[in-house]
Amino acid sequence: MTSVARLTKAHLWIAFAAFLVACVFGIWQMWARSPLATPYVIAEHYFLSVTAHGVAMAFVLTTFFIMGFGYFTAETALDRPLPGKPWAWAGFFLAVAGTLMAVAAILSGQASVLYTFYPPLTGSPFFYLGLVLVVVGSWIWCILMIVAMREWKGAHPGAPVPLAMFATVANAIMWLWTTVGVAAELLFIVIPASLGWVDTVDVGLTRTLFSWTLHAIVYFWLFPAYIAFYTMAPQAAGGRLYSDMMGRLTFVLFLVYSLPVGLHHLFMDPEHSTGFKFVQMSLTVLVAVPTLLTVFTISASLEIAGRLRGGRGLLGWIPALPWDRPMVLATGLSFVMLFFGGGGGLVNMSYGLNALIHNTSWVTAHFHLIFGGTVVIMYFAICYAIWPRLTGHEAGTQDAQRLQLWLWFVGMMIMSLPWHWLGLHGQWRRVAQFDYTNPIIAAWGPWVTTSLVGGILLFASAVVFVWNLAALRADRKAPVAPFAFATAVHQPARVPASLNGFGLWNVLVLVLMIAAYGWPIAQFFVLQPPHAVVHRVDRGG
Amino acid sequence: MSVESEAEDRPWQVRASVIVVAIVVVAALLGFVVLPVVQGRSAGVDAFSAICRALGLQAGSPAVRQPVSATRAEPVSLVAWTEEVIARLHNPNEENGSDLAANICASCHGADGVSPDPAFPHMAGQSAFAIYKQLHDFKNGARGNEIMASVVEQLDDEQMADIAAHFAYFTKGALDPTTPVTNDPAIVRLVERGITARGLPACASCHGAHAGGPIETPTLAGQRHEYLAAQLRAFAKGERRNDIYHRMRDIATKLTDSEIEELAAYYAGIGLYQRIK
């Protein structure tokens, strides 16, 4: 067991408790949108549920998982104790307190503004202050990750930082940049409005600041999955990582290109000019590069493993892989979902095509498939890989783990592929109920019902997952081998200093952010556009 | 394995910076110059304007023609919720409001905003925003009523704000639409959930606590039965037209006569009187 085991487990249990509850809300929402009679369905309940589902999945599950996994990685990859462990616990309790504040505000119906806020809608200040505490807790994590890497570099002058830790710190630095937008939105505009200090808000500015955060936050969630691809999957498959350098390049490219691209979430908004939207779309295209690098590198790594296991011929290495191992299975399933989800994403980020699917279920389908599918299935696999090290218990059989991963994959495909189809047919997102007596909408019915079946499979998978983690305690206690991250086939003899730290990349992020967001934000202060009246959901409209 | 020195790393820094900056420059040339000029040409927009539009320095899209008609859209209401108007409603001249209300309004709407005549609506229970909107609309002709038009003719914006604030006993959040006073479940359902198949949203989605209606949405709880029914009929016939985006006209035309009566009874029955301080 590692010395951060309790810390990591505490984070992961909070993450997955929120996840399980959020799954229940998710199923109910799909039920409400289906032609089937649904209990408790009025619009007010629906938007409360959407808010709870979004906050639990996007803020609580992710942030706590990433923090917990980060602490584990820092200690395991660097092979030294985590510095500032009391601070880590302080960050944890801060984030827990914030979560409880936000949950109380949501469940009492005082914050049904969805997790993306949508000013001038304004809810209870407890909701926003709670989320600020979660973010502050995560900032402590960021600083501890940076300190851990710096101390390690001090103790190992001239040595390359292990890839898993390099990636974790890349994520921490990206998260610090990412949260600037939403922090400015909350602290300077939304929270003053929620406290009644101002009566109007500049909606264009708030949307722009949120867009700063909105795309990069997705990469914050994605990083652990990519860390697993590079540093866990090759090892689990019985091979080695094809290229360490490719991993480093991938992670710095994510850092550089996930930030100056948020305007692609505002293609249909009137407050920005076509030129800036085009520039940010062009930069968005580059975010595909690290993903393509990763698909190539990990496929190559798995090919090495498959051939070492006796696979022959052009594709013979694929069946030779140990698909019975959860990490390998999850990686394969994750890549299939990445193929569909990434393809959908290319449509979203195209300035012209975006208009076709704007505000439809296509968008919901895309982010569920990419985040809920590609990313979260790797969260499961990571847990299965590290849980024995955290608990000292080894699972007797991995049947339940495999079942759970397959259920998640099948459920996600059955749920999200119909949503893509429905989006192309114009089904709106963020709408509680549909008029199924309308012949056009009636044709959607079977697809919506099919997606509900997918949702039920996902919920079953979620229950099995939590059961698997809890049940491990009852499994045999066994001496567990020390955890080791994958190493590369040819560890590079020398690493460029730029790929062993983040100074250069921080400067480039700054340059890109000034180019991409300078005028789009400054215009609100120069042009002084009209504001919108604050619309309170916690005190009656 | 080791890390290169800073000097050895220089080519990395230079190449990465050049590539990143070059991509931005190419994207900017395409987005701010090439595409606007080409698209602007086919849309009849000159090159300079097209580039300024692409930069956001001029309004409009470089790919869209200038409007050829100078006809202005006619808004149904001239009320604008500016910071000044909101500030005045929050900080009224109370003495002025009280005097004006006593002299002009009390004979029909009651000194405390509780109307003695079923034909006239209660003011008590309405927000300042709701009252101000209607006074302003009467004055500008957006809402037609001979009596009210002559009453508000003499009032300026600040006086109307003072009167509105005077009568604003409650915010509309005081409304509790979940207390049904009718036994007809169809009406309760209409209020709470709407009827999707008839395109009728829930009344409570705008007129209720935590509701999504605009700031000027009036409170219905405790209002006069006769007044509510008359307004719904006026919206249905198109005689009243000061509802932005046709919201109430669209809804009222879909209601049956008996639904109008029952809805008016439902809302009129909610206990406003106990709430008056």
Model confidence over A425-470: pLDDT tens digits?
Answer: 999 999 988 989 899 999 999 999 999 999 999 999 999 999 999 9
Is residue A77's pLDDT more than 60? yes
Q: Which residues of B touch A541 (CB under 8 A)?
A: 172-173, 206, 208, 210-215, 217
The pLDDT, as a whole number, for residue B1 is 57
Is residue B252's pLDDT more than 70? yes
The pLDDT, as a whole number, for residue B271 is 56
Claim to verify: residue B196 and residue B100 sit in the same structural domain: no
Claim to verify: residue B47 and residue B82 sit in the same structural domain: no
Q: Which residues pair with A535 in a beta bridge?
A: A121
User: How near does any CA of chain A get to the CA of B216, in Å?
Assistant: 9
- Is the model more confident about A349 or about A487? A349
Domain's final residue, options B145, B169, B193: B169
Burial of B269 (0-12, 13-18, 19+ CB in 10 A): middle
Claim to verify: residue B211 and residue B252 sit in the same structural domain: yes
Whether B3 is covered by a domain: the verdict is no
DSSP state of A353: T
**Whether B20 and A497 lie within 8 Å, measured CB to CB:** no
Among chain B residues, CA nearest to A492: B1
Is residue A382's pLDDT more than 50? yes
**Whether A498 and B20 lie within 8 Å, measured CB to CB:** no
What single-letter amino acid sits at B234? A
Whether B159 is covered by a domain: the verdict is yes
DSSP state of A243: -
Q: Which residues of B touch A495 (CB under 8 A)?
A: 1-4
What is the rounded CA–CA span in Å between residue A501 and residue A408?
A: 37
Claim to verify: residue B260 and residue B179 sit in the same structural domain: yes
Q: Determine the average pLDDT of the residues in A183-189.
A: 97
Residue A538 three-state SS: coil
Claim to verify: residue B158 and residue B203 sit in the same structural domain: no
Q: Which residues of A touch B175 (CB under 8 A)?
A: 540
Whether B70 is covered by a domain: the verdict is no
Claim to verify: residue B257 and residue B175 sit in the same structural domain: yes
Is residue A1's pLDDT more than 70? no
The pLDDT, as a whole number, for residue B34 is 97
Is residue B71's pLDDT more than 90? no
Closest by CA position to A53, among listed A434, A330, A455, A435: A455
pLDDT band at B270 (very low <50, low <70, confident <90, very high): confident
Residue A286 contacts B where some CB pair is shorter than 8 Å: yes
Domain's final residue, options B7, B41, B64: B64
**What percentage of chain A reaches a pLDDT higher than 70?**
98
Start-to-end C-alpha separation, chain B: 80
Whether B37 is covered by a domain: the verdict is yes
Whether B33 is covered by a domain: the verdict is yes
The pLDDT, as a whole number, for residue B210 is 65
Closest by CA position to A343, among listed A374, A322, A321: A374
Domain of residue B226: give its range.
Answer: 171-277
Claim to verify: residue B246 and residue B175 sit in the same structural domain: yes
Whether B1 is covered by a domain: the verdict is no
What's the whole-number average pLDDT of chain B? Answer: 88
Count Cβ–Cβ pairs < 8 Å, chain A vs chain B.
167
What is the rounded CA–CA span in Å between residue A402 and residue A324?
A: 7
Supply the ipTM of this predicted assembly. 0.90
The pLDDT, as a whole number, for residue A541 is 38
- Please say whether the beta carbons of A199 and A534 come within 8 A: yes
The pLDDT, as a whole number, for residue B69 is 77
Claim to verify: residue B262 and residue B223 sit in the same structural domain: yes
Claim to verify: residue B194 and residue B249 sit in the same structural domain: yes
DSSP state of A474: G
CATH number at residue B256: 1.10.760.10
Is residue B277's pLDDT more than 50? no
The pLDDT, as a whole number, for residue B180 is 52
Q: What's the 3-state SS for chain B?
A: CEECCHHHHHHHHHHHHHHHHHHHHHHHHHHHHHHHHHHHHHCCCCHHHHHHHHHCCCCCCCCCCCCCCCCCCCCCCCCCCCHHHHHHHHCCCHHHHHHHHHHHHHHHHCCCCCCCCCCCCCCCCCCHHHHHHHHHHHHHCCCCCHHHHHHHCCCCHHHHHHHHHHHCCCCHHHCCCCCCCCCCHHHHHHHHCCEHHHCECCHHHCCCCCCCCCCCCCCCCCCCHHHHHHHHHHHHHCCCCCCHHHHHHHHHCCCCHHHHHHHHHHHHCCCCHHHCC
Residues 512-531 of A with CB under 8 A from B: 512, 515-516, 519-520, 523, 531
Claim to verify: residue B192 and residue B249 sit in the same structural domain: yes
Interface test with A, best of B210, B219, B247 (most A CBs within 10 A): B210
Whether B28 is covered by a domain: the verdict is yes
Model confidence over A87-133: pLDDT tens digits?
Answer: 999 999 999 999 999 999 999 999 999 999 999 999 999 999 999 99
Residues 363-422 of A with CB under 8 A from B: none
Query: What is the distance, to the nearest Å, from the Cα of residue B29 to the centroid of all Cα atoms in its chain?
Result: 41
For chain B, the domain total comes to 3
Model confidence over A144-182: pLDDT tens digits?
Answer: 999 999 999 999 998 999 999 999 999 999 999 999 999
Model confidence over A47-63: pLDDT tens digits?
Answer: 999 999 999 999 999 99
Is residue B98's pLDDT more than 80? yes
Give how far Cα B120 sits from Cα of B69, B108, B135, B226, Å.
Answer: 43, 7, 14, 8
Residue A535 three-state SS: strand
Whether B69 is covered by a domain: the verdict is no
Claim to verify: residue B202 and residue B267 sit in the same structural domain: yes
CATH of region A5-536: 1.20.210.10
Q: Determine the average pLDDT of the residues in A74-98.
A: 97
Residue ranges covered by each domain of chain A: 5-536
Residues 84-123 of A with CB under 8 A from B: 109, 112
Q: Determine the average pLDDT of the residues in B105-133.
A: 91
Claim to verify: residue B253 and residue B179 sit in the same structural domain: yes
**Whether A504 and B3 lie within 8 Å, measured CB to CB:** no
What's the whole-number average pLDDT of chain A? Answer: 94
Q: Which residues of A touch B1 (CB under 8 A)?
A: 159-160, 491-495
Interface test with B, best of A278, A284, A494, A506 (most B CBs within 10 A): A278
Closest by CA position to B7, among listed A496, A211, A339: A496
- Is the model more confident about B243 or about B172? B243
- Please say whether the beta carbons of B113 and B167 come within 8 A: yes
Model confidence over B44-57: pLDDT tens digits?
Answer: 999 999 999 999 99
